[in-house]
């Protein structure tokens, strides 16, 4: 079952437009893009943005399940996560700036000397 | 039960009849005045204070600029001597049972309470009887004297306080050894003197020879100490006690401490215990297989050689055998005493031959010490504890005199000890007292008639012939060997005197002084140190001894002469053997020869008594038999093989006690005459038969080549050290290297390093994963996620 056929089936079946698996689909796509971006790019800022994308994918999943189960815990959890993510983003960007100052580059492979 | 009691009564009656002649007398001990306990404590306190001074590092006190530490230790030692002397006078006035003074309970363990109760009791107590008083009198007296000598001799030395700390500790340990009222105390003192000896031999710790000599002394002594330790353990397992009074009572009654009878004639311990103790004595008293440490110990400062390695510590072995003499008599065949006699005789001869060929005068004295210790052991072996103890007593004085005189020479001539490089000290200014002291020491050592050394040596020699062959086999042969050795002794002693102290005046300074036992401080110092950069004979000034050394030499020389008096003084307990015999009479060392007893003029013919060394409490002799039986303390006399009556020995058909006066004098005089002929200078100083005109050469030089390799062998100490090197040290060295290799390769290499390398190798194999490339980690995580999804998917199908 391909993703395209899944979407077609959904529409053809005349189901309500946003079922649970739509949300999960979006989250999966978002996460996959994040992973691909993280693996493909070498720029530290882009890689950081990619991790944020994976993060948000997980958030969407949580909210979707929260709605599905009529349980607000997931939403509450996501709000907490977003708050912490904001702080963490500030920290991470500061680190990136420091790393940049040290090597005058944003290439992640410049820090490959940190090996075992 | 009743039958047994009546049997015992009969036996007691029988023994009571002949019981007056028991060989070993056990006497009840009683408590003595408590202040006697201070005798060993005072030197220990002095040592502690010296140690404190050392740590407080008061420069003046620690560097020898002040003689404070010396006078401090001297004061405590002198006090200790005064206490000993007054204690002796008090004790001597009373009925002479042993006094026991207990300072505190030390070891007191009991187990298996009730049935089969066992205990180990060793109090920190002191045992005062004739034997220990005799030893303590000369130990504390000579200790004080030599301390005074050392106060001058050691002045200017950096380790002044260290020296006197060890000195005080030595006297404390020696007192503990001699006075201890149990075998554990004896062992404590025994190890203590060994330790102090080690510290003092290695006193000049920057000198490699001194350090090597210290190690040698300590290690050789370990071998003997092992024998002693095993002997003590065996005594404890056999008799169940280590306390002297209980032990001697048990031996006297032929039971163990708990009272169950022991059969001395058949049990193996009766020869094993004395043999093990004997090995300990050989180590400490430098007897044949273990004597090699003593000559090397001369690397220590001379006062140490005099006190520890001539006068006191080396006599500890003699003391121990004398103290344990009842145990040596347990064996009906007296195996251990035969060995003691033979080893002593052999050592006396061997050391005398080596001493004859040495050129270092201090070393000659060292070998003469070994040789004289051999005499003492031979005396013990000939069953004359009195002779052995008396020779210890006289030897302590004259050997201290000799050593201290040698030390004064060494001190004054910048470490020169070679008798070829010194001559005519008698007529050099400031050396008269030293020379006279040396002469007094020499005539004693050589056994010139009417000197103390002559009487004490005669006592041993006479007893060699007097002791019947059936008791100690070939004692007569040993006596002749010892007589011959007496001649050699006279020769090598007077060789030193004729070469160094009389004759043409000549000296060459030694090369080693002014670096350690520097003479240049102290009150007789006249030259600043810088002037002594090098010492050519031209501007070297010998440096005669100061008041302290002269005073000590005079006192000891007089003491050496006066040491003959005890031979003539007796209060009647053991008339024939003088004061020392009296002293030993009231101790465990007393032994009454089964050959009967002629007095010292040999008037009384040999009284033949049964040779059964019945060891019977003295009190039983007068006690009614029934009382003794009731106490259940009756020896099983029938278990002992009663020897036949023994005939006293003789020498050339004469009574040895009479004849020995002349025979030994002849041997001594011949030795002296040979020394005078070979080494004496012209004129009266060489007894009119010498012709030496130079320091370095004498008639002996022409004679030596005719003797073949013997003089060279003797000078090289009969290659005993080399023999030990090849047979003991080399194999040990090879083994040590083999074990080292095994340790290095197998234990360390294969096992320890091998096992520890496994985690390392594993780590190395997976370390590339930690590449440092961020994307590879991310890829790994993504791949892991993919795998998990795959697995979930597969399982959900």
* Tens digits of residue pLDDT in B693-702: 888 888 888 8
Cβ distance B773 to A109 less than 8 Å, yes or no, reads yes
Secondary structure letter of residue B522 according to DSSP: S
Q: Provide the pLDDT confidence category of residue B734 given band limits of 50, 70 and 90.
A: very high
What local confidence, expressed as pLDDT, does residue B538 receive? Answer: 52
The mean pLDDT value for B54-67 works out to 63
B692 DSSP β-pair partners: B681
Residue B643: pLDDT above 70? no
Cβ distance B782 to A35 less than 8 Å, yes or no, reads yes
Q: Are strands B30-31 and B506-507 parallel, antiparallel or unpaired?
A: unpaired
Residue B138: pLDDT above 90? yes
3-state helix, strand and coil shares in percent for chain B, rounded to the nearest 5: 65, 5, 25
What local confidence, expressed as pLDDT, does residue B130 receive? Answer: 87
Average pLDDT, chain B: 81
What local confidence, expressed as pLDDT, does residue A92 receive? Answer: 92
The mean pLDDT value for B136-156 works out to 91
Nearest CA in chain A to B776: A39
What local confidence, expressed as pLDDT, does residue B623 receive? Answer: 34
The mean pLDDT value for B301-310 works out to 88
The mean pLDDT value for B150-170 works out to 87
Tokens of B412: 């004054």
Q: Which residues of A touch B772 (CB under 8 A)?
A: 111-116
Cβ distance B775 to A111 less than 8 Å, yes or no, reads no
Residue B601: pLDDT above 60? no
What pLDDT digit, counting tens, does each position of B528-571 carry?
A: 333 444 444 456 778 888 888 999 999 999 999 999 988 888 77
B108 DSSP β-pair partners: B121
**Separation between Cα atoms, residue B710 and residue B353, nearest integer Å:** 10
Poorest-pLDDT segment among B225-229, B461-465, B770-774, B779-783:
B770-774
Percent over 70 (pLDDT), chain B: 84
Q: Which residues of A touch B770 (CB under 8 A)?
A: 115-116
What pLDDT digit, counting tens, does each position of B206-242 carry?
A: 889 999 999 999 999 999 999 999 999 999 999 989 9
Q: Using an 8 Å Cβ cutoff, are B194 and B208 in contact?
A: no
The residues, ordered by sequence, that sit 6+ positions from B510 with a Cβ below 8 Å of its Cβ are: B410, B413, B414, B415, B416, B417, B418
Mean pLDDT by 10 residues, chain A (116 residues): 65 67 92 92 91 92 92 93 92 92 88 75
Estimate to the nearest angstrom the gap between the alpha carbon of B46 and the chain centroid. Answer: 23
Residue B460: pLDDT above 50? yes
Q: Please report, for residues B434, B561, B602, B718, the alpha-carbon distance to residue B448 in angstroms, rounded to integers and kept in the order given.
A: 19, 11, 21, 28
Cα distance from A88 to chain B (closest Cα, Å)? 19
Q: Provide the pLDDT confidence category of residue B436 given band limits of 50, 70 and 90.
A: very high
Cα distance from A53 to chain B (closest Cα, Å)? 15
Helices (H) and strands (E) in chain A, counts: 4, 0
Name the residue among A38, A39, A114 with its Cβ closest to that of B772. Answer: A114
What local confidence, expressed as pLDDT, does residue A7 receive? Answer: 63
Name the residue among B769, B771, B779 with its Cβ closest to that of A39. Answer: B779
**Separation between Cα atoms, residue B527 and residue B408, nearest integer Å:** 19
CATH for the stretch A15-106: 1.10.287.3510
Q: Provide the pLDDT confidence category of residue B686 given band limits of 50, 70 and 90.
A: confident
The mean pLDDT value for B282-299 works out to 91
Q: Using an 8 Å Cβ cutoff, are B573 and B176 in contact?
A: no
Cβ distance A108 to B767 less than 8 Å, yes or no, reads no
**Separation between Cα atoms, residue B155 and residue B63, nearest integer Å:** 8
Poorest-pLDDT segment among B81-90, B551-560, B713-722:
B713-722
The mean pLDDT value for B306-324 works out to 90
Residues from A contacting B (CB-CB < 8 Å) are 35, 38-39, 42, 47, 108-109, 111-116
Q: Using an 8 Å Cβ cutoff, are B15 and B635 in contact?
A: yes
More confident residue, B365 or B699: B365
Q: Which sign does the torsion angle of CA B214, B219, B223, B228 carry?
A: positive
The residues, ordered by sequence, that sit 6+ positions from B237 with a Cβ below 8 Å of its Cβ are: none
**Separation between Cα atoms, residue B616 and residue B613, nearest integer Å:** 9
Secondary structure of B671-711 as H, E, C letters: HHHHHHHHHCECCHHHCCCCCECCCCCCHHHHHHHHHCCHH
Cα distance from B730 to chain A (closest Cα, Å)? 52
Q: Provide the pLDDT confidence category of residue B575 given band limits of 50, 70 and 90.
A: low
Residue B174: pLDDT above 90? yes
Poorest-pLDDT segment among A2-11, A15-24, B82-91, B412-421:
A2-11
Domain boundaries, chain A: 15-106
Q: How many CB atoms lie within 10 A of CB B483?
A: 20
Secondary structure letter of residue B266 according to DSSP: T
**Residue B151: which of B550, B549, B545, B557 has the closest Cα?**
B549
Nearest CA in chain A to B785: A35
Name the residue among B771, B772, B775 with its Cβ closest to that of A39. Answer: B775
Cβ distance A38 to B769 less than 8 Å, yes or no, reads no
**Separation between Cα atoms, residue B410 and residue B412, nearest integer Å:** 6
pTM: 0.76
**Residue B595: which of B469, B478, B773, B506 has the closest Cα?**
B469
What local confidence, expressed as pLDDT, does residue B139 receive? Answer: 93
More confident residue, B94 or B112: B112
What local confidence, expressed as pLDDT, does residue A1 receive? Answer: 55
Q: Provide the pLDDT confidence category of residue B140 given band limits of 50, 70 and 90.
A: very high
Percent over 90 (pLDDT), chain B: 41
What pLDDT digit, counting tens, does each position of B497-532 carry?
A: 999 998 888 888 877 544 444 444 433 333 433 344
Cβ distance B770 to A35 less than 8 Å, yes or no, reads no
The mean pLDDT value for B425-445 works out to 91
Query: What are phi and psi for residue B256, nearest 5 degrees?
Result: -90, -175
Cβ distance A112 to B772 less than 8 Å, yes or no, reads yes
Cβ distance B769 to A116 less than 8 Å, yes or no, reads yes
What local confidence, expressed as pLDDT, does residue B57 receive? Answer: 61
């Amino acid at each position: 079952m391909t993703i395209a056929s899944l979407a077609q089936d959904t529409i053809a079946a005349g189901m309500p437009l946003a079922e649970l698996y739509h949300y999960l689909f979006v989250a999966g796509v978002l996460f996959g893009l994040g992973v691909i971006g993280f693996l493909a790019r070498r720029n530290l800022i882009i890689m950081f943005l990619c991790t944020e994308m994976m993060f948000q994918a997980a958030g969407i999943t949580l909210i979707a399940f929260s709605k599905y189960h009529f349980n607000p815990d997931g939403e509450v959890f996501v709000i907490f996560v977003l708050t912490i993510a904001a702080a963490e983003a500030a920290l991470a960007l500061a680190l990136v700036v420091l790393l940049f100052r040290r090597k005058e580059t944003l290439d992640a492979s410049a820090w490959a000397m940190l090996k075992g | 039960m009743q039958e047994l009691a009546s049997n015992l009564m009969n036996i007691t009656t029988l023994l009571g009849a002949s019981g007056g002649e028991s060989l070993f007398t056990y006497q009840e001990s009683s408590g003595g005045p408590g202040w006697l306990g201070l005798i060993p404590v005072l030197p220990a306190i002095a040592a502690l204070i010296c140690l404190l001074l050392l740590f407080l590092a008061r420069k003046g006190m620690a560097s020898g600029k002040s003689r404070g530490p010396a006078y401090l230790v001297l004061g405590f030692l002198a006090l200790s001597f005064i206490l000993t002397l007054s204690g002796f006078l008090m004790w001597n006035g009373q009925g002479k049972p042993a006094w026991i003074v207990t300072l505190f309970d030390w070891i007191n363990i009991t187990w298996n309470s009730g049935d089969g109760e066992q205990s180990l009791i060793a109090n920190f107590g002191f045992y005062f009887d004739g034997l220990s008083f005799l030893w303590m009198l000369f130990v504390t007296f000579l200790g004080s004297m030599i301390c005074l000598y050392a106060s001058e001799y050691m002045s200017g030395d950096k380790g002044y306080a260290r020296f006197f700390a060890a000195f005080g500790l030595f006297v404390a340990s020696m007192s503990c050894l001699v006075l201890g009222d149990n075998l554990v105390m004896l062992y404590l003192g025994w190890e203590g003197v060994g330790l102090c000896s080690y510290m003092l031999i290695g006193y000049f710790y920057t000198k490699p020879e001194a350090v090597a000599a210290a190690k040698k002394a300590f290690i050789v002594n370990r071998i003997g100490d092992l024998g002693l330790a095993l002997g003590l353990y065996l005594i404890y397992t056999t008799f169940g006690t280590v306390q002297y009074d209980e032990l001697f009572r048990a031996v006297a009654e032929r039971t163990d401490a708990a009272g169950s009878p022991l059969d001395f004639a058949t049990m193996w311990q009766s020869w094993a215990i004395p043999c093990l103790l004997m090995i300990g004595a050989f180590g400490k008293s430098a007897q044949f297989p273990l004597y090699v440490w003593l000559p090397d110990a001369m690397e220590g400062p001379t006062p140490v050689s005099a006190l520890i390695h001539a006068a006191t510590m080396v006599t500890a072995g003699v003391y121990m055998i004398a103290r344990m003499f009842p145990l040596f008599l347990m064996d009906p065949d007296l195996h251990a005493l035969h060995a003691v006699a033979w080893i002593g005789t052999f050592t006396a001869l061997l050391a005398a031959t080596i001493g004859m060929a040495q050129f270092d005068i201090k070393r000659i004295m060292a070998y003469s010490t070994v040789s004289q210790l051999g005499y003492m052991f031979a005396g013990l072996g000939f069953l004359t504890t009195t002779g052995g103890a008396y020779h210890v007593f006289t030897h302590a004085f004259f050997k201290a005199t000799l050593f201290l005189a040698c030390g004064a020479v060494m001190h004054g001539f910048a470490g020169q000890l070679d008798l070829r490089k010194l001559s005519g000290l008698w007529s050099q200014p400031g050396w008269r007292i030293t020379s006279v002291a040396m002469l007094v020491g020499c005539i004693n050592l050589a056994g010139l008639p009417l000197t103390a050394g002559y009487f004490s040596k005669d006592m041993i020699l006479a007893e060699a012939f007097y002791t019947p062959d059936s008791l100690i086999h070939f004692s007569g042969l040993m006596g002749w060997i010892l007589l011959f050795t007496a001649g050699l002794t006279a020769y090598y002693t007077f060789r030193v005197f004729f070469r160094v102290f009389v004759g043409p005046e000549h000296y060459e300074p030694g090369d080693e002084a002014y670096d350690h036992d520097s003479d240049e401080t102290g009150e007789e110092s006249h030259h600043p140190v810088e002037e002594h950069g090098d010492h050519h004979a031209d501007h070297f000034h010998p440096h005669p001894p100061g008041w302290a050394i002269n005073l000590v030499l005079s006192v000891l020389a007089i003491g050496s002469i006066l040491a003959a008096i005890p031979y003539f003084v007796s209060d009647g307990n053991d008339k024939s053997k003088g004061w020392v015999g009296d002293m030993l009479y009231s101790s465990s060392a007393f032994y009454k020869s089964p050959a009967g007893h002629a007095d010292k003029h040999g008037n009384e013919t040999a009284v033949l008594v049964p040779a059964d060394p019945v060891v019977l409490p003295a009190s039983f002799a007068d006690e009614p038999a029934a009382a003794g039986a009731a106490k259940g303390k009756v020896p099983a006399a029938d278990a002992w093989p009663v020897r036949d009556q023994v005939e006293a020995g003789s020498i050339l058909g004469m009574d040895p006690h009479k004849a020995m006066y002349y025979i030994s004098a002849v041997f001594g005089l011949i030795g002296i005459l040979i020394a005078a002929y070979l080494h004496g200078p012209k004129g009266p100083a060489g007894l009119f038969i010498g012709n030496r005109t130079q320091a370095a050469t004498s008639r002996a030089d022409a004679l030596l080549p005719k003797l073949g390799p013997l003089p060279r062998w003797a000078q090289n100490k009969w290659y005993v050290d080399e023999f030990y090197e090849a047979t003991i040290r080399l194999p040990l060295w090879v083994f040590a290297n083999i074990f080292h290799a095994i340790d290095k390769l197998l234990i360390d290499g294969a096992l320890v390093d091998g096992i520890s390398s496994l985690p390392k190798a594993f780590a190395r194999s997976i370390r590339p994963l930690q590449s440092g490339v961020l994307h590879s980690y991310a890829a790994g995580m993504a791949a892991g996620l993919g795998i998990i999804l795959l697995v979930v998917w597969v399982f959900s199908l």
